[in-house]
Amino acid sequence: MENWKRKYMLLNQRVLRFQMKNTRCIDCQRLSMELRQAPRAWNIRLDRSLKDLGFRKCTQEQTVYTRREEEECVLVGVYVDDLIVIGSSTEKVNKFKQQMMAKFEMSDLGLLSYYLGIEVEQQIGRILLKQPTYAKIILSQFGMADCNATKYPMEPKAQLHKETKGAPIDATEYRSIVGCLRYLLNTRPDLSYAVGMASRYIERPTTMHYKVVKQILGYLRGTIHFGLTYTKGPREFNIFGYSDSDLAGDLDGRKSTSGMTFYLNESLVSWNSQKQKTVALSSCEAEFIAATTAACQALWLRCLVSEIVRMEPRPITLFVDNKSAIALMKNPVFHGRNKHIDTRFHFIRECVENGQIIVEFVNTGEQRADVLTKALTGVKLAAMRQLLGVRNLESCQN
């Protein structure tokens, strides 16, 4: 009888312990749900505080706030709890810092030199953006710190495809490499096409795909100090862009790759390399689809810049290297050559007709978006890199 009582008491103790564990799990779930609301609560608090100080949220970019006092202007860029402040006068910037420190416990880190892994060097008349420290971490993490440098990130005219019979590799490591390289594209647009191609095969990578990412790391090893240069331009802002496309470069779905670059007074501010959503039947159609995508980005940049500087929106010039596509953009008549194209891609026609975008022809050798649509040889890659604004910043040190 006593043995039975002992067993019953032990059983009760086990049940109580199990209930306590369940209770703790429920508490943890409640806590995690509360933590999920913390970023939203912080964003609401910060938004309210900035508006109380006279700032106005930009309608085109929700993380940018502006405040104007007569001819003076202060801009604030927000990323979670990090703020980047720029102003037309040091006095206005210091005033904003004091106002924010009165509301929050904040630290003044001084002149911007490092932000989200991007190293910023401010010189007289120009700003340099680079990620050499992050690049070294990538190379060291994947055992490529002492590898031989390559001349280009991807073999010229190389075409990747899915290998159903190829030898599979460690997908976790492959995805980790591609993920690390994608963040490096913030200052390295010359890597956009190669990294974009490699990221299409993260589901089942094989030795062929692994060889490509290794070559990208080899190219990074030789260009570790490369980055973007932003020079001071005139007070009048001029935005122009380039749009380009290959034809059926994707061997699996036969879809084309679009590339676009946009400049603000010769400084690269936006770029993209992306596979198109639909299959194009000709190079004219592929260029037409790519230009329409670029037009959407152009209108956003146009509205953003005009809102920040409070100037009348000006037409944006878009350079395309296909005369047939340009004629199609300027011709409002539907005929047999373009009636099959999806309606949404004819949006650029309306932009051209309204004078929001001016389309002009550019020679293929001067097409700055060419590097975003195909793998180039070493000589042409160096020329395109120079046109993009990517340079060796180690030689630019004072």
The helix/strand/coil state of 190 is helix
| The dihedral sign for the CA sequence 138, 139, 143, 144 | positive
**pLDDT (tens digit per residue) in 77-95:** 998 888 999 988 889 999 9
In the predicted model, is pLDDT for residue 15 greater than 60? no
Beta-bridge partners for 130? 119, 227
In the predicted model, is pLDDT for residue 4 greater than 60? no
What pLDDT shows up at residue 25? 41
- Give the position of tokens 């104007």: 68
**Do residues 328 and 281 lie in contact, with contact meaning Cβ atoms separated by under 8 Å?**
no
Over residues 194-208, the mean pLDDT reads 94
CATH architecture designation of domain 237-367: 2-Layer Sandwich (3.30)
Rounded to 5°, the CA angle 384-387-392 comes to 85
What pLDDT shows up at residue 233? 76
Residue 2 pLDDT grade (very low, low, confident, very high; cuts 50, 70, 90): very low
Q: What is the DSSP string of 52-79?
A: HTT-EE-SS-TTEEEEEETTEEEEEEEE
Residue 333 pLDDT grade (very low, low, confident, very high; cuts 50, 70, 90): low
Over residues 43-64, the mean pLDDT reads 92
Structure tokens belonging to residue 184: 């490096």
The helix/strand/coil state of 274 is strand
Pairing of strands 316-320, 118-123: unpaired
Beta-bridge partners for 84? 77
Q: Who has greater pLDDT, 336 or 356? A: 356
Over residues 123-139, the mean pLDDT reads 93
**pLDDT (tens digit per residue) in 321-330:** 999 999 988 8
What pLDDT shows up at residue 7? 38
Domain ranges of the chain: 56-110, 125-232+380-398, 237-367
Average pLDDT over the chain reads 86
Burial 16-53 (b: 16+ CB within 10 A, else e): eeeeeeeeeeeeeeeeeeeeeeeeeeeeeebeeebeeb
The 3 state secondary structure assigned to 14-28 is HHHHHHHHHHHHHHH
In the predicted model, is pLDDT for residue 342 greater than 80? no
**pLDDT (tens digit per residue) in 153-185:** 999 888 899 988 888 999 999 999 999 999 999
What pLDDT shows up at residue 334? 58
Q: What is the pTM of this model?
A: 0.86
In the predicted model, is pLDDT for residue 19 greater than 50? no
Burial class (CB in 10 A: 0-12, 13-18, 19+), 99: middle
Spatial strand order in the sheet of 239-245? 267-275, 257-264, 239-245, 316-320, 357-361
Structure tokens belonging to residue 266: 């010769």
What pLDDT shows up at residue 117? 87
